Amino acid sequence: MTRIKRGYIARRRRTKIRLFASTFRGAHSRLTRTITQQKIRALVSAHRDRGRQKRDFRRLWITRINAVIRENKVYFCYSKLIHNLYKRQLLLNRKILAQIAILNKSCLYMISNEIIK
């Protein structure tokens, strides 16, 4: 009986997985089973942390806005500023407000004065 040579499909799949895990340390980049487990784990962490990153940035923006507002007592607190922004229908999101608060405080004071009137 002649020898049957296997195809290249399984090898191609393994090399693709190895390329993904090439920067991992130790057996996590050398052994096929461990590589697949670590790949699943890495993708799960990446998916979870995308949501966490959004949450963390939102918290950072809120903290920055609140710090600048309380610094010069433009407003008593962050929540009242945001409430009045919505009441006046000024569509500025927290990211933009945080950038304004850091780079151009006087502009934020102008915005807050417009809201108060």
Contact 97, 108 (CB under 8 A): yes
Nearest to 79 by CA among 69, 88, 89, 71: 69
State pLDDT tens for residues 13-23.
999 999 999 99
State pLDDT tens for residues 22-32.
999 999 999 99
The span from the CA of 66 to the CA of 79, in Å, is 9
Q: What token pair was written down for 98?
A: 């945080």
Q: What is the SS3 string spanning 47-108?
A: HHHHHHHHHHHHHHHHHHHHHHHHHCCCCCCHHHHHHHHHHHCCCCCHHHHHHHHHHCHHHH
State pLDDT tens for residues 57-104.
999 999 999 999 888 776 678 898 899 999 999 888 999 999 999 999
Q: Is 10 helix (H, G, I), strand (E, B) or coil?
A: helix
Q: What is the pLDDT of residue 18?
A: 96
Answer whether residue 112 shows pLDDT above 90: no
